[in-house]
Structure 1
Amino acid sequence: MQIFKNIKSLQYFLAEERQKKRSVGLVPTMGALHEGHLKLLNQSQKENDITVCSIYVNPAQFNNTDDLKKYPRDLDHDQFLLEKQACDVLFSPSDKEMYPEGNLNGIKLGFGKLEQVLEGKFRPGHFSGVGIILSKLFHIVNSDKAYFGQKDLQQCSVVRKLIEELFFSTQLVIVPTVRENNGLAMSSRNTRLSEKGKDLAANLYHAITKVKNLIEEGEKIEVARQAGISTLKEQPKIRQEYFEVIDKRDFTTAADITPKSEIAVCVAAFVEEVRLIDNVLVFS
């Protein structure tokens, strides 16, 4: 596995690979790798000649400095997993490399309504930071495809808009969420949970799945949503932030079922003071 910390050296290496007509896949991560990330890598390896995994905890996308400080970091273990997976390239730059002027509050990106609902509403500035770092990575790597997990469903919509609006040649590939045996969506933040906390957090999946099943059985959306909310309220140690049924095309609230409905049930909640998100697609 080739390891790069410098942008120019990575670009030089990739330019040589492209001269050999090799396709490039990008898996952008913030480290603390788990089976979900490895599934993204595996998908990229199947579809590309070269796979680049980036590991960078991007400070510009954290609206909570405490969350940034507590974000799990274990580059040595991540490198071990990538080598075991036979990843071609690891790009792990420093803050100075990615933000040479040291200014995290310079350029801002806007994503319209996506910034006003769910993650955008509760994490102001988050998607601007995501858009900036991905713009940098797309420019640096210039990959044919980039791989993201469905768990970050709203982020996937942000990435799609970013690619469309800024004319990046990268193709977005969304890979289904990978889950623990109890249903808990795999996340780097899960490392901050105790074993009891992980079992408790699995209730997020059970609640949104209940809503999905009720809607698919013909129940009205709002009735189903309230049933999901009530299910989580039975767990007083879970602090709900939002619980919504949305049209995943624009993330507006879904009110009725139509033949063209593309619906998702989305939740964010705190377990042991760790913020977790999850979603399931309805009629899928």
Structure 2
Amino acid sequence: MVINSKTSLQEVLEIIKKEGKTVGLVPTMGALHDGHLSLINFAYSYCDTVVVSIFVNPTQFNNASDLEKYPRNVNNDAGFLKQHNSKTIIFTPDVSDIYNDKVEAESFDFGSYVDFMEGEFRVGHFDGVGSVLKRLFDIVKPDKAFFGEKDFQQLMVVKKLVKITDQDVEIIGCPTSRNEFGLAQSSRNFRLTDSELKVAELIYKALSKAKKMFDNNSIKEIENEIVNMFKDEPAFELEYFSIVKENDLIPTKIKEPKQNYRAFIAAFLGEVRLIDNMALNY
């Protein structure tokens, strides 16, 4: 079922909720792939009904070219979901449904969650994410919303968002879906050639190397090793590699006891920017 307006969606969901059924939301920007399907299947393990929103959010792109090149094909996305799970509700709102007449991002105080990594290199990005999700949560009023751990920084931001806005929705993180070589599933992968997809495996290899080294090497040694791995692959341009404490997402140089650490990476392969992350000590 494809629904284009928020009024129609709310009418359908009102009936579902009156029947005592739980509703899950999987927010997407389309270009659906197996990673999204993994999220949707995960959502069905918690909820009776799942809404998949498809909306390319203009306020979270700080690069106009990225927004223009982002793949869009709602018919393909609907066909993909119908093939795998025909009962899923697809919500494809217009910009006016989300932002009315004022297409701009709100400002949120996400604290240290947005000071580094994506927040540093994509200034304002998370205000855009928060703005669209706040509105989607208001429209759908889901019991639970599901986000992949590939965007772990975003996951932490969204959990902070619902505290700031006091919205009654549980945020659930889902394991990263990867291909057979470890590359995280992403809509941006569609822009890579077959040979570039092979090169892109370096991201997973680098994260796995960092995890393997974590117990017996200093953070500086790990960082040097990862930087050198990318220097040996000229097709890649490493933007950042950071090891952070999960509780605050602040890059650290010293390992502390009883802390969970995670490595984050962003790199350009040609014009395509890829990100990923991995838990290091659990």
CA offsets, 1:176-209, max 9 Å, x none? 1111122211100000000111111110111121
Indicate the residue corresponding to 1:151 in structure 2: 150
What does residue 254 of structure 2 align with? 256
Which of these residues, 273, 278, 281, is aligned with residue 280 of structure 1? Answer: 278
Residue of structure 1 in register with 2:126 after alignment: 127
Distance in 2 between the 1:47 and 1:114 partners? 27
Instruction: Give me the TM-score of the superposition, normalised by structure 1.
Output: 0.96
Alignment of 1:195-274 (within 5 A): 195-216=194-215, 218-274=216-272
Aligned to 1:116: 115
Q: Which amino acid aligns with 1:196?
A: S
Decide whether the 8 Å contact of 2:2 with 2:78 is kept in 1. Answer: no
**Counterparts of 2:127 and 2:52, CA distance in 1:** 22
Instruction: Point out the more displaced range, 104-113 or 38-47.
Output: 104-113
One-letter code aligned to 2:261: I
C-alpha separation in 2, matches of 1:252 and 1:17? 42
Distance (whole Å) between structure 2 residues aligned to residue 114 and residue 182 of structure 1 = 30
Work out the CA distance in 1 between the residues paired with 2:63 and 2:15: 40
Structure 2 letter corresponding to 1:275? R
Q: Deviations over 1:40-94 (max 9, x none)?
A: 0001112111110000000010000000000011211110111122242110011
What is the aligned partner in structure 2 of residue 193 from structure 1?
Answer: 192
The range that moved more, 26-35 or 256-265, is 256-265
Deviation at 1:252, TM superposition (A): 0.6
Give yes or no for contact 2:26–2:51 (8 Å, CA) kept in 1. Answer: yes
The residue that corresponds to 2:97 in the other structure is 97
How far apart are the structure 1 equivalents of 2:105 and 2:25?
A: 26
User: Percent of pairs identical after alignment?
Assistant: 38
1:139-178 alignment runs, 5 A limit: 139-178=138-177
Q: Moved runs in structure 1, 4+ residues, more than 4 A?
A: none
Q: CA deviation at 1:7?
A: 0.7
Structure 2 Cα separation of the partners of residues 239 and 162 of structure 1: 32
Alignment gaps of 5+ in structure 1:
none
Supply the AA of the counterpart residue of 2:267: A
Q: Hey, what's the Cα distance between the residues in 2 that align with 1:107 and 1:211?
A: 36
Calculate the aligned-residue CA RMSD, in Å: 1.2
Distance 2:213 2:247 in 1: 21
2:73 counterpart of 1:74: yes
Give secondary structure in 1 for the equivalent of 2:93: coil
Between stretches 122-131 and 8-17, larger displacement belongs to 8-17
Give the Cα–Cα distance (whole angstroms) in 1 for the partners of residues 18 and 275 of structure 2: 41
In structure 2, distance between residues paired with 1:32 and 1:263: 31
CA contact (8 A) 2:98 2:136 kept: no
Matched AA of 2:44? Q
Q: Say which is worse superposed, 90-99 or 252-261, in terms of deviation.
A: 252-261
1:106 Cα deviation after fit: 5.6
Query: Structure 2 unaligned runs (5+)?
Result: none
Is residue 26–residue 145 contact of structure 1 (8 Å, CA) maintained in 2? yes
1:104 and 1:114 map into 2 onto residues whose CA distance is 24
Contact 1:207–1:229 (Cα < 8 Å) also in 2: no
Mapped partners of 1:47, 1:85: distance in 2: 18
Work out the CA distance in 2 between the residues paired with 1:10 and 1:206. Answer: 43
TM-score by length of 2: 0.96
Offset from partner CA, 1:216-246 (integer Å, 9 cap, x none):
3x21122112111111111111011111111
Q: What is the CA–CA distance in structure 1 between the aligned matches of 2:111 and 2:280, rounded to whole Å?
A: 25
What one-letter code is carried by the residue in structure 2 that aligns with 1:105?
A: E
Secondary structure in 1 aligned to 2:45?
helix
What is the number of residues matched between the two proteins?
281
CA contact (8 A) 2:238 2:267 kept: yes
Asked if structure 1 preserves the Cα contact closer than 8 Å seen for 2:58 and 2:67, the reply is: yes
Helix, strand or coil: the match of 1:252? coil
Q: Give deviations 1:14-40, integer Å, cap 9, x for gaps.
A: 111111100001000001011110000
Match status 1:55 vs 2:42: no
Residue 38 of structure 1 is matched in structure 2 by 37
